[in-house]
């Protein structure tokens, strides 16, 4: 059932668009986010595990989202949780940038009640859409006492992941997500049986800035064979306050990029080094333009955080006015496995 008032315990469904709400714009045309939250919820076809109140945030493919959009989702979650009758929150979201938004929410979430992200790989008008099953299971997780105190979660294809470290692993597979370093948080069956085995890291939440608190530019560039400093320099000239460098291996680049990083950090630009590799930490080891030279040039190692979530954390810290030393300390804490 959908509840329209605030009487009795219930789960809030925040609908933001994505494939789970998408249909072909015309016969054989491209899919676009079009279904309302009520339409997405109605697609379940079976009773939900808990009463649900639906709130439409917006209808967008997640490839269109900005950091301000993600902050707006965080604010809607806080608004929903202001009601003590709310058991938890489900956010339906496109899979393209689910890992970014979920991580931003996790960084700023200051409530024991669960926030669960889910979505779909197949559009709502597909012959066999996966969205209804994912949503049904996410509602079960959001209302489960087991999910309290474990932070922000991604529930997809029956697996529950912690937001930190989660990433989309496949463009089309229904089993779309993985978390190689931080692992899984549990599972949820088709019938809504929830098993949670992971505890939250215990790190204190970071403040949530206002949407209009300023939008420092943060860019992401890649190191690759033959890369020079052109793109990094262009980012600095465009006014970047922060740059995430997607390195190779353990977080390496080359001499040209390393020199440009040194010049950028000397002017106050914060550079964070991540890696394109699927799993494992950024470890400054190599010279001759490698990770150790990047560290000496002022770059901050991202630890286990991949480029997508490194960009989110760096963007948040810059919006909060965090100095470079504080940013380095935060990445050192949040880029490691919880104790």
| Residues with catalytic roles | 19
- The answer to whether 85 and 8 are in contact (CB under 8 A) is yes
- The answer to whether 240 and 269 are in contact (CB under 8 A) is yes
Q: What is the 8-class DSSP label of residue 130? A: S
- The β-bridge partners of 22 are 33
Give the residue from 226, 244, 225, 224 showing the smallest Cα distance to 235. Answer: 244
What whole-number distance in Å separates Cα of residue 56 and Cα of residue 34? 12
- The answer to whether 184 and 159 are in contact (CB under 8 A) is yes
What whole-number distance in Å separates Cα of residue 37 and Cα of residue 57? 9
At residue 205, φ and ψ (nearest 5 deg) are -65, 155
- Hey, which bits of the chain come out as E strands? 10-17, 22-24, 31-33, 52-60, 86-92, 115-118, 152-156, 159-162, 167-168, 177-178, 186-188, 194-196, 218-222, 242-247, 270-275, 300-301
- Which of helix, strand or coil describes residue 229? coil
- The β-bridge partners of 222 are 246
């Amino acid at each position: 059932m959908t509840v329209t008032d605030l009487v009795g315990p219930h789960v809030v469904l925040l609908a933001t668009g994505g494939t789970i709400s998408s249909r072909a714009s015309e016969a054989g045309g491209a899919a676009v986010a079009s279904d309302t939250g009520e339409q997405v919820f109605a697609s379940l076809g079976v009773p939900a595990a808990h009463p649900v109140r639906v709130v439409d945030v917006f209808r967008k493919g997640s490839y269109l989202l900005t950091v301000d959009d993600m902050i707006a989702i965080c604010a809607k979650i806080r608004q929903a949780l202001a009601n003590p009758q709310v058991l938890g929150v489900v956010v339906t979201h496109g899979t393209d940038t689910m890992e970014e938004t979920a991580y931003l929410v996790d960084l700023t979430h200051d409530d024991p009640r669960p926030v669960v992200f889910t979505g779909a790989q197949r559009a709502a008008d597909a012959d066999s859409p996966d969205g209804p099953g994912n949503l049904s299971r996410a509602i079960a997780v959001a209302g489960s006492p087991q999910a309290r105190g474990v932070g922000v979660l991604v529930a997809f294809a029956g697996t529950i992941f912690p937001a930190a470290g989660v990433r989309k692993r496949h463009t089309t597979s229904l089993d779309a997500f993985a978390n190689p370093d931080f692992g899984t948080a549990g599972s949820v069956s088709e019938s809504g049986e929830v098993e949670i085995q992971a505890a939250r890291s215990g790190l204190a939440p970071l403040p949530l800035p206002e949407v209009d608190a300023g939008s420092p530019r943060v860019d992401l560039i890649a190191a690759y064979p033959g890369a020079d400093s052109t793109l990094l320099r262009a980012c600095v000239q465009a006014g970047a306050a922060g740059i995430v460098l997607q390195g190779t291996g353990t977080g390496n680049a080359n001499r040209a990029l390393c020199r440009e990083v040194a010049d950028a950090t000397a002017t106050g630009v914060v550079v964070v080094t991540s890696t394109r590799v699927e799993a494992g930490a950024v470890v400054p080891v190599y010279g001759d333009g490698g990770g150790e030279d990047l560290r000496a040039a002022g770059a901050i190692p991202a630890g286990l955080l991949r480029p997508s979530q490194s960009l989110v954390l760096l963007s948040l810290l810059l919006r909060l006015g965090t100095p470079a030393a504080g940013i380095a300390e935060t990445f050192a804490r949040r880029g490691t496995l919880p104790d």
